[in-house]
Amino acid sequence: MESIGEDGSVLPLSEGDVCGEELLTWCQERSAVNPDGTRIRMPSKGLLSSRNVKCVTNVEAFSLSVADLEDVTSLFSRFLRSHRVQRAIWYESPYCMLRAATQIQVAWRYRKRRLQKLNTAQTKQYSSELIKRHGEDIERDAR
């Protein structure tokens, strides 16, 4: 099996691998309690993984519905929120690694663009100073 992301990134899946951990992260980020103590419900529609799964060979697989995912996150919320589990999800998840890599790339491009603008501004300022000095030298030589 292959897990294919929105950006076209392909992750091969083998026996025992999981796909769709971004939904678990999504549930954890959005499972909360209102100030009055009532639970905030996840929308049953619109909760879709941003990845597609392609079967390369015959496979046996199962999927979870939104209700199943809600049950898992509520029954094991304490376990899923532990620092150790959060770290494991973050460091072992191809989704999280790809998300982190994308954020680093965006930050790097932003920094590079900012430095280019700064260098361009400095070059223009330096050029105008040279032109001004050169003009003063020509006037002085003409006198």
Check pLDDT > 70 for residue 78: yes
Residues 65 and 134 in one domain: no
Contact 61, 15 (CB under 8 A): no
Which residues in 63-102 belong to E strands, given as ranges? none
- Please tell me whether residue 54 adopts helix, strand or coil conformation: strand
Residues 12 and 66 in one domain: yes
- At 89, list the tokens: 């999800």
Residues 87 and 110 in one domain: no
pLDDT digits (tens, 9 = 90+) for 24-68: 666 666 655 555 656 655 555 556 667 788 888 887 877 777 778
The total domain count for the chain is 2
Check pLDDT > 80 for residue 120: yes
Residues 73 and 116 in one domain: no
Full-model pTM: 0.40
Domain boundary (71, 92, 113) is at: 92
- Please tell me whether residue 114 adopts helix, strand or coil conformation: helix
Domain boundary (51, 71, 92) is at: 92
Residue pointed to by tokens 């999504």:
26
- Structural domain for 115, as ranges: 105-143
Give CA 120 to chain center in angstroms. Answer: 30
